[in-house]
Amino acid sequence: MTAPQDTPIPPRKNFFSFSISARVLISTASAVTLVMLGFIHFFLSHQKDSIMAQNERTMILMINNINSALRTIMKAGYAHIAQEFTQDIRKNPAVLDFRILRITGQEAFLDNTTIHDVNRRIGEEEFMPREQESNSQILSRDDPDLQTVIHQNRIVTLHTKKNDEQQITYLAPIERDEKCGKCHGNEPKTRGVMLITTSLAQVESDITATRSKAIAVAVISLFFVLLLIYLMIHNFLIRPLGWIRDAMVRVANGHLEERIHVPGQDEISAITTTFNEMASRLLQTYAGLQQEQDKLSTIIIGAQEGIVVTDGQHNVVLVNPAAERLLGKDYDQIRNSGWEHLVDDPDYMRTFVANGGHNMPDLLVFNGRALKFHAATLHATDKLPIGTSIMIRDVTDEKKLEDKLRELSITDALTQLYNRRGLMDMLEKEIKRSQRYNHMLGFLFFDVDHFKKFNDTYGHDQGDRVLQAIGRTMKEHFRKVDTPCRYGGEEFCVILPDTSPRGAYIVAERFRRVVEAMVVDDLKVTISIGVATVPACEVNKVDDLIKKADDLLYEAKRNGRNQVKLATELEDMDRLNLEI
């Protein structure tokens, strides 16, 4: 069959106007060049990193040696020669600056502050004061790098540029040795900070020399690689493709009966066979497209998920019934207002579609439903949009079930308090919050006195009713910000945010008295409470805080039960009990 012939359109003058041989060669050469450049870049970066790393290891080794020498001088009692030691180090040509700083940022060994403190501590004039004093504040007391060295006890590296010269400065901690306790007592572990500055000029010179050699070798290698590629492409690809091009031009001009024949069993021969089959099946494929379109329409209309489709100009062209139901809008409303107003938030929809939903919340509450969105834009080969598909799924029931399951997983079935899992999660958050904002945190750990004997006497059902009554009382007694929990068995806990040791003791004692006065089925019980607080107890982990409170609980039991035991003794404990 011969199709009508169209007038050929003159090709545009761009990259695709070149012959295929030129394009393949340019593309291949570009790819090889990029790969070579990538290898060069990787090699140079690796070499640069290696040189810099070696320089840094050398400097850290020197810092450690200086630190060891300085510690030896100080432990031997020769503190008066430390200043001469630092001056000798400054004479090293590789060292631009060297100073020993106190943790306040002042340069050490210039005044008599430390000498007076040490003499006063040991009770004798062990060290003679300097005749001349000076004060040099090198770093401010609150300098962030200085604070990092002091509190994290690690070396901080600073890169600077001075007079077009790259420099590197190291701030290293000088730790207090156990033998320093005689002179310096229980002062902080970090006694001072070593500041040493060196030039990176020689390092940069080495990097430049390495880069020049690598580039020279790469240029020569690239030339020979490109020459070899050209010869191979021309002989094994360009000439066979020329034969295929001529045959395909005749097919493009309407001679559909034209068939291409290229001898051989390689990929080009396979391409010609595929092209011949494609031309034969073209009409058959076109007929099948209409059938598939009918199937697709049936699926879209019957789908439970909402589907909204736009064309390349962002006009709404398809809305299925599920989308109308989920959004509470009909097709005309959605089409006229545009896809940007699907959920009455144009900025959200534009950003969501532009990003394909990445790094954005895909779950919204709209029209009384929890809706989950998915968007995808299809582009043509010229990267122009063909259309966008937006899918909407109703996950309201799923979210309700998820929230219900989560609530059940952290709730004690008997008392309706937080269970042990909920306690651990909440307590970990509160400890981190206390540490981050320097807030106090109270924690009560108690159980019912003689509960096993109570169960043996009155039965487990009666015991469960007592535990339920305690749970109800906890909910009524404590603040909304407090978290009452059942730890297990007859053991309970209460998390008290922003509560001091005094406040925690008052709360615990009042609750103990409430339980003591409580009557359940004409029966009474008492409780023993251990109270631990942060930061007074100096604990940083959940298990440590629970262990501390548990130990206090058992101490209260050993002292006679029905009482509160606080980790920190309060001076006015007797008067406090009277006031409560």
Can you give the residue ranges of every domain in the chain? 259-302, 304-399, 414-579
Radius of gyration of the chain (CA): 40
Q: Token pair of 301, please?
A: 């209309």
pLDDT score recorded for residue 65: 83
Lowest mean pLDDT among 104-113, 119-128, 212-221, 273-282: 119-128
Q: Token pair of 26, please?
A: 């340019």
pLDDT score recorded for residue 10: 47
pLDDT digits (tens, 9 = 90+) for 476-501: 999 999 999 999 889 999 999 999 99
Q: Which fold has domain 414-579?
A: Alpha-Beta Plaits (3.30.70)
**Contacts of the segment 432-440: beta carbons below 8 A, 24+ positions apart:** 433/497, 434/497, 434/534, 434/535, 435/534, 435/535, 435/540, 439/497, 439/498, 440/498, 440/499, 440/500, 440/501, 440/533, 440/534, 440/535, 440/536
CA–CA gap between residue 28 and residue 231 (Å, rounded): 12
Q: Which amino acid is at 551?
A: D
Average pLDDT over residues 502-520: 94
pLDDT score recorded for residue 330: 86
Residue 300: band (very low, low, confident or very high) from pLDDT cuts 50, 70, 90 = confident
pLDDT digits (tens, 9 = 90+) for 184-196: 555 566 778 888 8
pLDDT digits (tens, 9 = 90+) for 81-91: 767 777 778 78
Q: Identify the residue with better confidence: 233 or 16.
A: 233
Q: Token pair of 300, please?
A: 């879209």
pLDDT digits (tens, 9 = 90+) for 53-74: 888 888 888 888 887 877 777 6
304-399 and 414-579 agree in CATH topology: no
pLDDT score recorded for residue 8: 45
Instruction: Provide CB contacts within 8 A for 123, sequence distance 6+.
Output: none
**Cis peptide preceding 385, ω within 30 of 0:** no
pLDDT digits (tens, 9 = 90+) for 324-370: 887 888 888 888 888 888 888 788 888 878 887 777 776 777 777 77
Q: Identify the residue with better confidence: 404 or 196.
A: 196
| Portion of the chain with pLDDT greater than 70, in percent | 83
> N- to C-terminal Cα distance for the chain?
105
Q: Please say whether the beta carbons of 108 and 102 come within 8 A.
A: yes
- Please tell me whether the overall predicted TM-score, pTM, comes out greater than 0.95 for this model: no
**Contacts of the segment 341-344: beta carbons below 8 A, 24+ positions apart:** 342/308, 342/390, 342/392, 343/371
pLDDT at 403 over 70: no
pLDDT score recorded for residue 579: 56
> What does DSSP assign to residue 234?
I
Exposed (0-12), middle (13-18) or buried (19+): which is 323, by Cβ within 10 Å?
buried
pLDDT score recorded for residue 53: 83
Q: Token pair of 76, please?
A: 């031997």
pLDDT score recorded for residue 4: 40
CA–CA gap between residue 132 and residue 111 (Å, rounded): 7
| Portion of the chain with pLDDT greater than 90, in percent | 22
Average model confidence (pLDDT) across the chain: 80
Q: Which CATH architecture has domain 304-399?
A: 2-Layer Sandwich (3.30)
Instruction: Provide CB contacts within 8 A for 305, sequence distance 6+.
Output: 322, 391, 392, 393, 394
pLDDT score recorded for residue 5: 43
pLDDT score recorded for residue 123: 54
Instruction: Provide CB contacts within 8 A for 556, sequence distance 6+.
Output: 528, 529, 530, 563, 564, 565
Residue 509: band (very low, low, confident or very high) from pLDDT cuts 50, 70, 90 = very high
pLDDT digits (tens, 9 = 90+) for 242-293: 777 777 777 667 565 667 776 667 777 788 788 778 777 765 665 666 777 7
Q: Token pair of 96, please?
A: 């631009």
Lowest mean pLDDT among 38-42, 221-225, 262-266, 324-328: 262-266
Q: Please say whether the beta carbons of 232 and 240 come within 8 A.
A: no
HEC secondary structure over 7-72: CCCCCCCCHHHCCHHHHHHHHHHHHHHHHHHHHHHHHHHHHHHHHHHHHHHHHHHHHHHHHHHHHH
Q: Identify the residue with better confidence: 445 or 65.
A: 445
Q: Annotate 464-478 with DSSP letters as a single string.
A: HHHHHHHHHHHHHHS
Which of 313, 22, 424 minimizes the C-alpha distance to 432? Answer: 424
Q: Identify the residue with better confidence: 8 or 388.
A: 388
Which of 439, 451, 579 minimizes the C-alpha distance to 495? Answer: 439
